[in-house]
Amino acid sequence: MNSRKPMQLRLPQELKEWIKAESDRNGNSQNSEVIRAIRAAKDRRSTRGAIGNINMDQGDNARC
C-alpha cells in the first residue's frame, strides 16, 4: 500500500516557474522538486532547533 496521499497545491506563478526550472535542471519531476524543497526547509528548521536560533540563510552574519 502506498502511504502517499494526493494533495492539491496552489502556487504563485513565480514559484511554479521556479519548481519547473529546478525539475528540468535536475532531471526530476515537479512533484519530486516540491518534496525536496519541503524536506530541505524541514531539515533547516530541525537544525536551527538543535543548535539555537541561527538563521542559516545569513551565512557569515549568523550569530551564535
> What pTM was computed for the model?
0.65
Environment class of 44 (CB within 10 Å of its CB; exposed 0-12, middle 13-18, buried 19+): middle
Q: How far is CA 44 from CA 20, 27, 31, 50, 51, in A?
A: 23, 24, 20, 10, 11
Q: How far is CA 29 from the centre of its chain?
A: 14
Domain ranges for the chain: 13-50
pLDDT tens-digit readout, 20-63: 999 999 999 999 999 999 999 999 999 877 665 555 555 554 44
Residue 24: how many CB atoms within 10 A of its CB? Answer: 11
pLDDT tens-digit readout, 26-38: 999 999 999 999 9
